[in-house]
Amino acid sequence: MFHAKRRTFLSIVASTGLALSLAACGGGGDTAQAGSGGDGGDGAIRVGYSQLGAESGWRTANTESVQQNLTADNGFDLTFVDAQQKQENQIKALRDFVAQDVDVIAFSPVVETGWDDVLQEIKDAGIPVVLVDRTVDTTVEDPYVTHIGSDFKAEGTKAGDWVEENAPDAKIFELQGTLGSGAQVDREEGFDGVVGSQVIGKASGNFTRAEGRTATEAALQAYPDMTMIFTHNDDMGLGAVEAIEAAGKKPGTDIQIVSVDAVRDGLQALVDKKFNYVVECNPAFGDQLAELIKKVHDGEDVPKETVVEETAFDQTITQAEVDARPY
């Protein structure tokens, strides 16, 4: 485990100069930077955060939750970099954070593999890492202090359980997220572990609405007998709705849709009977992340895994529940 305490002295001694450096960084090219709005004064925890992108409504809500909690008023000096779904952008951002000698690095990895070199560099620099949302597959020993996010496999299993109980004869097309990402790998494993024998085809929609529509258009041609789509997120599912309707079919009836996320647009599709079941993947855990980072910085013991509390929704959900949704 990293020893955050031995870095505290450096943080205090160099805080003023480094805060100015952090405020100016963020990277060029495909990255974007947003600060916390504070002056990074003495005692502020300097956090370098690399978000993987803004590919979906879920990701936007997650980013908002992070930025609303890692603020100057809460004791943070945040440098936020949007990697625009490119691993090379994230690796550059992480190396920039090392060069700036931030107190804590947090990031949500685009994919699971390919992090060995940069994680070793971070470890050698003595900077603790907090993984957010997704995980990594690396040969580096103890590459991160803690991970906070959803249990993606449990989400896939929950979706599979609903299908097994409510549509045991369904012929399923699986609309997958970004291939190689933790969410894609684990949701597939959980779902297929329950009803994998019913899956007749798979393709990636890369977690975006546009690619979800394109993948579904192709699936409608390739698998004309499919009766259900399991989509790894709501945005791809909404793209699937567009494709199904354009083909003259009725989503939710002719082709059932089971999704993961439970953002407002996804739940609205559930109210409108275009989705049939939605497993929640809660993006609003910025407050929990802030508390974890404080403990990591102070050298306190933290759990290796923190699982965000989540539920699931069917078509009994009301319009009032959707309207009250914070994201």
Predicted confidence (pLDDT) per residue in 137-174, tens digit: 999 999 999 999 999 999 999 999 999 999 999 999 99
Q: What is the pLDDT of residues 49-108, one digit of tens each?
A: 999 999 888 999 999 999 999 999 999 999 999 999 999 999 999 999 999 999 999 999
Res. 10 pLDDT band, cuts 50 70 90 = very low
User: What is the reported pTM?
Assistant: 0.79
CATH topology identical between 5-149+283-309 and 152-281: yes
- For the chain, domain boundaries: 5-149+283-309, 152-281
Sheet containing 76-82: order of strands: 32-35, 76-82, 45-51, 104-107, 129-132, 146-149, 305-307
Residue predicted with more confidence, 135 or 1:
135
What's the confidence (pLDDT) of residue 63? 96
Query: Which residue, 72, 70, 83, 23, is CA-closest to 44?
Result: 72
**Which residues neighbour 248 within 8 Å (Cβ) at sequence distance 6 or greater?**
none
Q: What is the pLDDT of residues 197-213, one digit of tens each?
A: 999 999 999 999 999 99
| DSSP letters spanning 129-140 | EEEESS----SS
Can you tell me the distance from the alpha carbon of 26 to that of 15, in angstroms, rounded to the nearest whole number?
18
Can you tell me the distance from the alpha carbon of 59 to that of 27, in angstroms, rounded to the nearest whole number?
20
User: Measured on CA atoms in the order 133, 206, 202, 256, is the torsion positive or negative?
Assistant: positive
User: What CATH number is given for 152-281 in this structure?
Assistant: 3.40.50.2300
Structure tokens, 51:
């978000």
What's the confidence (pLDDT) of residue 42? 62
Q: What angle (nearest 5°) sits at the alpha carbon of residue 133, between those of residues 173 and 301?
A: 145
Can you tell me the distance from the alpha carbon of 278 to that of 263, in angstroms, rounded to the nearest whole number?
9
6 has a pLDDT exceeding 50:
no
Res. 326 pLDDT band, cuts 50 70 90 = confident
Query: Which residue, 279, 262, 118, is CA-closest to 187?
Result: 279
Q: What angle (nearest 5°) sits at the alpha carbon of residue 240, between those of residues 236 and 245?
A: 155
Q: What's the distance, CA 123 to chain centroid?
A: 23
CATH superfamily of 5-149+283-309: Response regulator (3.40.50.2300)
User: What is the average pLDDT across 230-258?
Assistant: 98
What's the confidence (pLDDT) of residue 280? 97
Strand partners, 305: 147
Over the chain, what is the mean pLDDT? 89
Say if CB 85 and CB 110 are below 8 A apart.
yes
Helices (H), the chain: 5-24, 57-69, 87-100, 116-124, 152-166, 182-195, 209-222, 234-246, 264-271, 286-297, 319-323
Say if CB 6 and CB 126 are below 8 A apart.
yes
What's the confidence (pLDDT) of residue 150? 94
The DSSP output letter for 34 is E
Structure tokens, 276:
């049939």
Neighbours of 6 (CB within 10 A): 10
32 has a pLDDT exceeding 50:
no
249 has a pLDDT exceeding 90:
yes
Can you tell me the distance from the alpha carbon of 26 to that of 176, in angstroms, rounded to the nearest whole number?
31
In a 13 Å sphere around the CA of 277, the CA atoms on its Cβ side amount to 20
